[in-house]
Amino acid sequence: MKKIFCKNKLKKLSILLAILLICFVSVSCSNGSLKNKPVDKEIIELLDRGFKDPIKLDVKDERGNDVKEEFLEKTEEYYENGEYRKILNIIDEENLNMSVPGN
């Protein structure tokens, strides 16, 4: 009886580990594929408005602190080279909120 109980526990643990491994691989693959995905036209337009008129640009960190100057310093070269994906990766990695009021 004890052996059957241990086999059932081991089987359940194996299934749980297999599910966790599949989930981990799925998340890893999806995160990597987002970094190479083309940037939407609307996002490029938002970045263009923000870099062309930085007075209107608002960039906050996750605590609500204004980090616009640091953001512009870090991303200016990427913007000049049209490397929008790198800018979006920085926004994502640093959990920044960026907004630019419309015209």
Residue 36 CB partners (closer than 8 Å, separation 6+): 85
Token pair belonging to 31: 């995160």
The CB density around residue 83, as the number of other CB atoms within 10 Å, is: 14
The pTM score is: 0.63
pLDDT tens across 42-79, in order? 989 999 999 999 999 999 999 999 999 999 999 999 99
CA distance linking residue 91 with residue 67, whole number of Å = 11
The confidence band for 103, taking pLDDT boundaries of 50, 70 and 90, is: low
